[in-house]
Amino acid sequence: MRIELEKRPAYSALFSMLSPFIALGLTIIAGAILFTALGKNPIDALYSFFIEPLTELWSLHELLIKAAPLILIAVGLSVCFRSNNWNIGAEGQFIMGGVVGSIVPIYFHEWNSFIVLPLMLIMGMIGGALYAGIPALLKTRFNTNEILSSLMLVYVAELFLDWLVRGPWRNPEGFNFPESRSFNDSAVLPELFPASGGANMGIIFALIATLLTWFMMRHMLKGFEVSVLGQSARAGRFAGFSSTKMIFFAFLFSGALAGLAGISEVSGAIGRLQPDISPAYGFTAIIVAFLGRLNPLGIFAAGIILALTYLGGEAAQISIGLPDKVARVFQGFLLFFVLACDTLIHYRVRLVTAVKARTEGEGAS
């Protein structure tokens, strides 16, 4: 016996809209089962995971700090995914954005000027974009599968950063800790409301990127081009659009936003380079992009929800003594349920028995 997916002749628009919410509901139910199995009271656990982080002002700031990179990356990825280019390496582009953006504050660590920060941000975007340009180049020149090449480049970026902060960029006054110099004040992203918490300008960048990308996809010919080429390369060619240029546009665009997220995180939340600058933001952002239905406005909301799982993971560690890997489990649940809901809305499951499968196999021959 095997399981087959059969395309539904028509699918429900209502369920299609509700799908992310159904997925969230199912994630919470699965979470409750998980907590029960671990011997915790599911209500308490869910409360400390999902509600507690929202009850205090400082943790709301933390929420924005975590949400900003997720949204920035996911908004870029949404354009890439819509054009049918599968950039899985945003994590690497995030890291390279952080690295390239840090060149100025590390080599010119005594330079105090209002121009330092904009320069860092621009260099971060360029770093991320160029790094994303590698899989684009490989895809257009050698027809390489971009999923594999972009994913593998993540590990290259991680090791490169590791080597930098242990080697040439290690802080000479840092007692041999694997860290760069701390950035000076003019290289640190300003906080929004310093009185109440640490949320920085990153979330503003995320908001601007969301609105501009939404406008582009909704109203501009460029957005139309992205959708056309994503749905049919042949029709795109008929329209006079170039698939090759689109591959570069999509990768450079998403790479630049991931790079911006990277340098914002390094400059705003960390203040220096260290071996580990991202709790897998680049991968989680893939979930954010799909949970937000590849729509920038939806992604903004989805980014905040996924940021909550990071805080929930920390809270679960502190208040109920579960490992913070629980957060990753939740993220996994969520992606699984989002994809499953979308699939089941468009397809129905059919069980094919062995006998029937055999005769049908003959029929196909």
Interface residues with other proteins (CB under 8 A)? Answer: 9-10, 219-222, 224, 227-228, 231-232, 234-235, 237-240, 356, 358-360, 362-365
CA distances from 259 to 14, 39, 276, 319, 331 (A): 36, 41, 15, 34, 23
Q: Least distance from C-beta 352 to other proteins, angstroms? A: 12
Two tokens, residue 49: 């995971």
Q: Least distance from C-beta 17 to other proteins, angstroms? A: 16
Side chain identity at 6, as an amino acid letter?
E
Rounded to an integer, what distance in angstroms lies between the CA atom of residue 280 and that of residue 211?
A: 25
Classify 347 as helix, strand or coil: strand
Query: Which of 212/318 has CB closer to other proteins?
Result: 212
Q: Least distance from C-beta 94 to other proteins, angstroms? A: 28
Q: What are phi and psi of 7, to 5 degrees?
A: -65, 135
Q: Least distance from C-beta 79 to other proteins, angstroms? A: 16
Closest alpha carbon to 309 in 30, 41, 15: 30
Q: Least distance from C-beta 219 to other proteins, angstroms? A: 5
Query: Which of 113/231 has CB closer to other proteins?
Result: 231
Q: Least distance from C-beta 361 to other proteins, angstroms? A: 9
CA distances from 315 to 44, 49, 52, 94, 168 (A): 12, 6, 8, 26, 37
Query: Which of 236/312 has CB closer to other proteins?
Result: 236
Closest alpha carbon to 66 in 259, 210, 193, 203: 203
Query: Which of 163/238 has CB closer to other proteins?
Result: 238
Query: Which of 39/363 has CB closer to other proteins?
Result: 363
Two tokens, residue 246: 């689109």
Query: Which of 168/240 has CB closer to other proteins?
Result: 240
Residue 238's Cβ-count burial label (10 Å; 0-12, 13-18, 19+) is exposed
